[in-house]
């Protein structure tokens, strides 16, 4: 598949183009918000990845005045404000005299951060920084993403959501509830930033594998958007986290006197969909080109919402589509690790435990990939064994299955339990998206290992407590033979004989930032299935053979900006092929790598000027 897709990609030598891009990207600069300006002298190469670092920054014109600037996290630089700027912006004397640079500020923050042992307290420290100084916050994320991602994202974000009300200090994002019906188009103007590019919205109904957390689910859009900025290069003033607060069916929250959301049972049926529709119209009214990412909606509404908007608005569902693309990339690399061709995907026997948003999203994406490789749908479907709480999806219960699940229902063995399926059908791949921690028992994993030399085991549920098995268990029960990737990160596993196993993280964080960047900078009108497929292909290609040989089937997290750049370029190219790219000029079309690189926000301090003194 990779080779067939490659032949369809734009006809140019990408390696040569990337080299040329580096030189070219150095002769333009950005105002740190993606706006580019021409410059006559090239910069000195910094040794950093092309497009990431720039030593010239156009000033930002701000309307905030004097001391208020210090309380505005998007502009605040704290002790890094230089003397001239303190004078010019009229807050000289309000900061201690010593002037630090961003690296020293970061060092100081990390010292305290690393001294803290509790991950949830680390999350609070980071959120406090987010609320004080966004540039420094994002710089910490960019430079230390591997260390910090598990704190702002899974697994710690799960606990942050569970304790959201108790830890609430300052608001971030927007909330829309039934009481706001009829007001939403006006309410969106309360958001202080006029150029929003990406919204991540949840209704809190299925937060990771933790169930219905209602309005406490706000932690998820905040965490996802932090990754959009740090990993995907979307500027922080261009993202908006949203909770549709339609109530909760979580009894504990309904009784909790400190719960911050609407304390009623969930809105359902027509009224629910009307509310979502009003929200979608409102955001589209103020920001016509905004990308809306649906996140952690329970499966009874997730597919319907996606189908309602996917063909005429710029939306995607991360749990269905982003996860599908990510899993496809990981499984293609896993095939490489077993010594098989990626074209052998359709020859696999794939058991997916979990038939909800993620399980069916993965199955649909794999099915599409097999068809790209030349299988018919009928042939490709035979590879799948999908299991829910009632066992294998079978044609004997078609009427209780969704249309998407029906595609994968098998005529034999309907209702068969997971363990029996593994014994009887000898799968080569076992994926878990059930949110049931420990579902992959020793017996199941040992049965996989008895049938296949290199079993592929992906327990993808989040957070860590919900993983179907741990990395240590999977490696131990397969004598180190399995290829392992999990939704939340696990540490390397050391065997007594000196071998070290490297678990990978298979999480949609590898896809959504680059996908969103590519879709927004190209001015795409919709997110097509093909864009997701191309994103998967770009991600899979990013993993070098040396890593694959060690069983690593995803790139290291600390290369996520490069991954996002690569995915965004591929998405832009696909948007062009598909006639979807509405924003690109001739110049930009000529060198897409450079264009995308220049659009990526990089967190560093830019000069600030009061708006009336300069026209920006
Ligand atoms: N790694 C990643 O990037 C991602 C991970 N996820 C994770 O995947 C998990 C599921 O998410 P999502 O699909 O949206 O959730 P859903 O609630 O939509 O689906 C869960 C599915 O698991 C099934 N299930 C529950 N218990 C069992 C069991 N004991 N045996 C077999 N199947 C069972 C449910 O069956 P039934 O319908 O019968 O109840 C349902 O089909 C979550 O933990 C989430 O965090 C999600 C997206 C991305
Ligand atoms: C990763 C993700 O999107 C989830 O667990 O829901
Ligand atoms: Mg999710």
DSSP code for 318: I
pLDDT reading at 544 higher than 70: yes
Supply the residue whose CA is at minimum distance from atom 5 of ligand 2: 208
Using a pLDDT cut of 90, give the percent of the chain over it: 87
Atom number of ligand 2 nearest to Cα 206: 6
The Cα 126–Cα 230 span in angstroms is 14
195 in contact with ligand 1, CB cutoff 6 A = no
| pTM for this model (two decimals) | 0.91
**Nearest ligand to the C-alpha atom of residue 299:** 1
Residues with C-beta less than 6 Å from any ligand 2 atom = 154, 208, 296, 318-319, 462, 487, 507-508
Looking up tokens 């053979």 gives 545
Residues 6+ apart with CB under 8 A from 506: 326, 327, 330, 458, 460, 485, 486, 487, 553, 554
The DSSP bridge partners found for residue 15 are none
Q: Does the ipTM surpass 0.90?
A: yes
State residue 45's pLDDT score.
Answer: 28
Q: Which residues are catalytic?
A: 153, 224
Using the mean position of ligand 1's atoms as its centre, give its distance from the Cα of residue 375 in Å.
28
The Cα 17–Cα 14 span in angstroms is 5
296 is annotated as contributing to ligand binding:
yes
Average pLDDT of every residue of the chain: 91
Q: pLDDT tens across 248-306, in order? A: 999 999 999 999 999 999 999 999 999 999 999 999 999 999 999 999 999 999 999 99
Lowest-confidence region among 220-229, 480-489, 601-610: 601-610
The Cα 337–Cα 545 span in angstroms is 8
Are the beta carbons of 1 and 537 closer than 8 angstroms? yes
Predicted confidence band of residue 36 (pLDDT cuts 50, 70, 90): very low
pLDDT reading at 33 higher than 60: no
Predicted confidence band of residue 611 (pLDDT cuts 50, 70, 90): confident
507 is annotated as contributing to ligand binding:
yes
DSSP code for 322: I
State residue 206's pLDDT score.
Answer: 98
Using the mean position of ligand 3's atoms as its centre, give its distance from the Cα of residue 158 in Å.
11
Looking up tokens 């309904």 gives 254
Token representation of residue 528: 């097509």
State residue 282's pLDDT score.
Answer: 98
Are the beta carbons of 317 and 339 closer than 8 angstroms? no
The Cα 322–Cα 358 span in angstroms is 9
């Amino acid at each position: 598949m990779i080779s067939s897709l490659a032949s369809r990609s734009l006809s140019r030598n990408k390696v040569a183009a990337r080299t040329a891009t580096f030189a070219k990207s150095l002769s333009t600069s950005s105002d740190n918000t993606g706006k580019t300006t021409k410059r006559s002298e090239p910069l000195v190469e910094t040794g950093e990845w092309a497009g990431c670092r720039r030593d010239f920054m156009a000033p930002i014109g701000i309307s905030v005045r004097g001391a208020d600037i210090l309380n505005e996290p998007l502009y605040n630089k704290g002790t890094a404000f230089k003397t001239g700027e303190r004078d010019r912006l009229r807050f000289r004397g309000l900061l201690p005299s010593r002037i630090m640079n961003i690296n020293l500020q970061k060092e100081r923050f990390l010292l305290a951060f690393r001294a803290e042992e509790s991950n949830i307290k680390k999350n609070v420290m980071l959120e406090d920084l987010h609320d004080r100084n966004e540039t420094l916050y994002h710089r910490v994320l960019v430079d230390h993403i591997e260390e910090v991602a598990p704190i702002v994202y899974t697994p710690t974000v799960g606990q942050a959501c569970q304790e959201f009300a108790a830890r609430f200090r300052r608001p971030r994002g927007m909330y829309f509830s039934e009481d706001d019906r009829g007001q939403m188009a006006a309410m969106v103007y309360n958001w202080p930033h006029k150029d929003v590019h990406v919204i991540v919205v949840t209704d809190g109904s299925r937060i990771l594998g933790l169930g219905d957390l209602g309005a406490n689910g706000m932690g998820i859009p905040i965490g996802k958007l932090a990754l959009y900025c740090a990993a995907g290069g979307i500027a922080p003033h261009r993202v908006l986290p949203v909770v549709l607060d339609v109530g909760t069916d979580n009894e504990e929250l309904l009784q909790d006197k400190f719960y911050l959301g609407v304390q009623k049972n969930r809105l359902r049926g027509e009224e629910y969909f009307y509310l979502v529709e009003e929200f979608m119209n409102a955001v589209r009214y103020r920001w016509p080109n905004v990308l809306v990412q649906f996140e952690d909606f329970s499966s009874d509404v997730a597919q319907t919402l996606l189908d309602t908007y996917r063909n005429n608005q710029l939306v995607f569902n991360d749990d269905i589509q982003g996860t599908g693309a990510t899993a496809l990339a990981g499984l293609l690399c896993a095939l490489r690790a077993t010594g098989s061709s990626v074209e052998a995907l359709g020859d696999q026997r794939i058991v997916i435990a979990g038939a909800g948003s993620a399980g069916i999203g993965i199955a649909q994406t794999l099915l599409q990939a097999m068809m790209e490789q030349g299988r018919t749908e009928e042939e490709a479907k035979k590879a799948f064994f999908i299991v829910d709480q009632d066992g294998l999806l079978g044609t004997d219960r078609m009427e209780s299955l969704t249309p998407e699940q029906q595609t994968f229902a098998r005529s034999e063995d309907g209702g068969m339990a997971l363990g029996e399926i593994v014994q009887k059908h000898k799968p080569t791949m076992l994926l878990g998206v059930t949110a049931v921690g420990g579902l992959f028992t020793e017996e199941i994993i040992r049965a996989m290992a008895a049938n296949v030399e290199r079993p592929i085991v992906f327990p993808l549920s989040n957070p860590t407590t919900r993983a179907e098995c741990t990395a240590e268990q999977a490696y131990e029960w397969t004598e180190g033979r399995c290829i392992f990737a999990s939704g939340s990160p696990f540490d390397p596993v050391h065997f007594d004989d000196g071998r070290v196993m490297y678990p990978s993280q298979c999480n949609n964080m590898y896809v959504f930032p680059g996908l969103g960047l590519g879709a927004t900078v190209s001015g795409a009108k919709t997110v097509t299935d093909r864009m997701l497929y191309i994103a998967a292909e770009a991600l899979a290609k990013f993993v070098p053979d040396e890593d694959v040989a060690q069983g690593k089937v995803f790139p290291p997290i600390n290369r996520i900006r490069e991954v996002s750049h690569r995915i965004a370029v591929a998405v832009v190219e696909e948007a062009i092929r598909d006639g979807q790219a509405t924003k690109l000029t001739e110049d930009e079309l000529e060198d897409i790598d450079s264009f995308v690189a220049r659009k990526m926000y990089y967190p560093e301090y830019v000069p600030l000027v009061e708006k009336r003194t300069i026209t920006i």
